[in-house]
Amino acid sequence: MWPINNGTERIHQQNKSTMLSMQEIRAIESWISQIGISSFYKTVGQKISTASKTLKFKYKMIGHGLNRVVYDLNNGYILKIALSEVGLISNANEAYIYNNCNEEVKKYLCPVKEHGTGWIIMKKVDTKVPFAIKEYTKLIKLELKLLRYGIIPIDLRLDNVGYNENDEMVVIDYGLFTMDLKSPVLRWLV
């Protein structure tokens, strides 16, 4: 399910979780309601700081990008929360791709446990991928597998992959990938 319909109308997704408390869900909803005021924030750092103050999570923040912040849930899973409209699309996109892709390619994507409006819970994967020629070769092979199964891997790079427990390369950030040429992801990129 995409977070926006025809690029203008937001689709509300029910926020239920077996891993997050209702208080945590409400904190995420409060933060997500502020995303439209993004012109108020001057830097990503200010946006992350404001998000942290709104969320007040007990979890450790283990990373962030321009559009999402990542928390370790300390149970083998991570929580990604949107920081922007692109972050909202990325979370919804990861859930959509994981739940609708071919089973043969699913093993190369970080598993999605749950998701709601503006958030997604995924399996925690080892992200220590060395910048070596061998890794780039694996990345190219992974890109070809994704393309073979109808996934266009926009933004596939070593920073967005990790290794699962079987020591196989998997994509941990596929929020800008698409299976549909009419995807909102492509609207944001052009």
Q: Please name the residues in contact with 169: beta carbons below 8 A apart, sequence gap of 6 or more.
A: 108, 129, 135, 138, 139, 142, 161, 162, 163
85 vs 12 pLDDT, higher one: 85
Neighbours of 88 (CB within 10 A): 25
Distance from C-alpha of 26 to C-alpha of 132, rounded to nearest angstrom: 43
Q: Provide mean pLDDT across the span 107-135.
A: 90
Q: Which of 100, 183, 94, 91 is nearest to 149 (CA)?
A: 100
Distance from C-alpha of 184 to C-alpha of 13, rounded to nearest angstrom: 17
Q: Provide mean pLDDT across the span 45-65.
A: 92
72: which strand partners? 60, 78
Torsion of CA 166, 169, 174, 177, to 10 degrees: -130
**pLDDT at residue number 11:** 44
Q: Provide mean pLDDT across the span 81-101.
A: 94
170: which strand partners? 162
Share of the chain above pLDDT 70, in %: 84
Binned at pLDDT 50, 70 and 90, residue 173 comes out as very high
**pLDDT at residue number 18:** 85
At residue 71, does pLDDT exceed 50?
Answer: yes
Binned at pLDDT 50, 70 and 90, residue 44 comes out as confident
130 vs 112 pLDDT, higher one: 112
- pLDDT tens track for 6-24: 343 444 455 778 899 999 9
